[in-house]
Amino acid sequence: MLTQSDLAISTLGEPQLDSPLLFDGIPTRFTPEAARVLYNIDYLEGDDVIELGFEKAGARKKVYFDASKSKAAIVTCGGLCPGLNNVVRNLFYQLQTSYGVPTVLGIRYGYQGLNPSQGLPPLELTSEMVERIHHHGGTHLGTSRGPQDPKVTVDFLESQGINMLFCIGGDGTQKGAHAMAVEAQKRGLDIAIVGIPKTIDNDIKYCYRTFGFLTAVSEAEKIIDCAHVEARSVPNGIGLVKLMGREAGFIAAAATIASGEVNFTLIPEVPFELEGDHGLLAKLERRLAVRSHAVIVVAEGAGQHLLARQGDEYDKSGNRKLGDIGLYLKQEINNYFATRGTPASVKYLDPSYHIRSVAANAADSLLCEQLARQAANAAMAGKTDMFVGLWQNHTVHVPLSISTGQIKRIDPEQEMWTTVLAITGQDKW
């Protein structure tokens, strides 16, 4: 169970007057039900009302670091996400132009670039280097997966005289940032380690929306529209679209709602079966008999129990590798209709990498600017071991220790999923 003190932010140096939850707090009273519905908070303090206040982000009266003697570094890790370059660029301008930090380093290829044995020295960022990068997808700095020893990476920060490190990445990245913050604190080093959560999956706990998510949804919507056109153009046409979402189906659900053209949406949070009267295949057959076409959206983490696999495999960061549910469904649907003697045509679209490698749209660009600015403010104020995220329409400081290792997922009882069910009508067939 979390308490207010769990939400307190670590700050370098003496305790400050504008310390957590007093000056800058956003105390909000929730009923347990409201907290669960709105923010997927699964802890409560015993009472029927709780007061939860993340420290509000923003420039502080007391700036902890002397900007002119500071050296900042920025690292991007994990999978790509629209807006990575916007965050790097905005961080650079906020640190160098607004605060006057003379050196801002770009760490190359994720946490690998913090390990000197990898032979990837940092780039010294300049305004010429970053001025146009926000027009491009991907990350100008490069990214990687795979662990680095926090003792080695903190040695590197120390040896380079880096006193602010900005870690842009998903849950794994924030875990790595936390490990470095703990190591730095153990050594009594004055290094602020500040996270900026990134994932198109939007599955970071205590973060209402991550940057890149809305861009990914609008790209996914375009692909769903293509699948719909394909499906409508032939008798018994089936458009099948696979989208990312290892543990959470936010992209699939949001793109379904945005498009309004999806008939079956499958997400990791809601188990489904293929066989039987209530299975996907029978429902699909009933739908085709009436409407002659159908669109299915499947999140990559859905239906993994259906895939016969010989033990689990993991990527370099320890994330479980998933079987290809899209290809599996395509084959099963084709087999089913062939057996029934019903001609059907499945068009399978897998835009996974396409939707995350594009440049950020306007909504995400705005969010990236906000998060980068507030992350620079937090680090300059000596805040550490925390990320800057969106909470109740405010940018706030969230301690890494309370968010990492947990996943935000769709609650099937709540509005997002009930809206998907209403729009698709998938339970009615």
Ligand X SMILES: Nc1ncnc2c1ncn2[C@@H]1O[C@H](COP(=O)(O)OP(=O)(O)OP(=O)(O)O)[C@@H](O)[C@H]1O
Nearest residue (CB) to ligand F6P, 203 versus 285 = 203
Residue 145 in contact with ligand X, rule: CB under 6 A: yes
**Alpha carbon 35 to chain centroid, angstroms:** 21
- Smaller CB distance to ligand F6P: residue 248 or 257? 248
Q: Tell me if 77 contacts ligand X by CB under 6 A.
A: yes
Contact pick of 73, 125, 220, 244 for ligand F6P (by CB under 6 A):
244
Q: Is 215 in the site for ligand F6P (CB under 6 A)?
A: no
Which amino acid, residue 310? Q
Question: Look-up: residue for tokens 């991907």?
Answer: 138
Residue 118 C-beta: closest distance to ligand X, Å: 12
Examine residue 245 and tell whether it contacts ligand F6P (CB under 6 A): yes
156 binds ligand X (CB under 6 A): no
CB within 8 Å of 118: residues ≥ 6 apart = 109, 112
Applying CB under 6 A, among 146, 292, 401, 402 the residue interacting with ligand X is 146
Choosing from 169, 239, 249, 382, the residue that interacts with ligand X (CB under 6 A) is 169
Residue 175 in contact with ligand F6P, rule: CB under 6 A? no
Distance CA 57, CA 241 (A): 38
The answer to the question of residue 142 lying near ligand X (CB under 6 A) is no
Residue numbers 51-70 binding ligand F6P by CB under 6 A: none
- Report 189-228 residues binding ligand X (CB under 6 A): 199
Crossing angle for the helix pair 150-160 and 171-186, to the nearest 10 degrees: 70
Nearest to 376 by CA among 164, 200, 163, 170: 164
- The count of residues interacting with ligand X (CB under 6 A) is 20
What does 244 bind: ligand X, ligand F6P, none (CB cut-off 5 to 8 Å by kind)? ligand F6P
Type and span of the H or E element at 115: none
Q: State which H helix or E strand residue 33 sits in.
A: helix 32-39
Contact 73, 164 (CB under 8 A): yes
Backbone angles phi, psi at 392, to 5 degrees: 50, 40
Q: How far is the CB of 147 from ligand X (least distance, A)?
A: 4
Which of the choices ligand F6P, ligand X, none does residue 173 contact, using the CB cut-off of 5 to 8 A by kind?
A: ligand X
Q: Which residues are catalytic?
A: 201
CA distance 127 to 99: 14
Q: Which residues of 60-81 are buried (b: 16+ CB within 10 A; e: fewer)?
A: beeebbebeebbbbbbbbbbbb
Residues that bind ligand X (CB under 6 A): 77-79, 110-111, 144-147, 169-173, 175-176, 179, 199, 317, 319
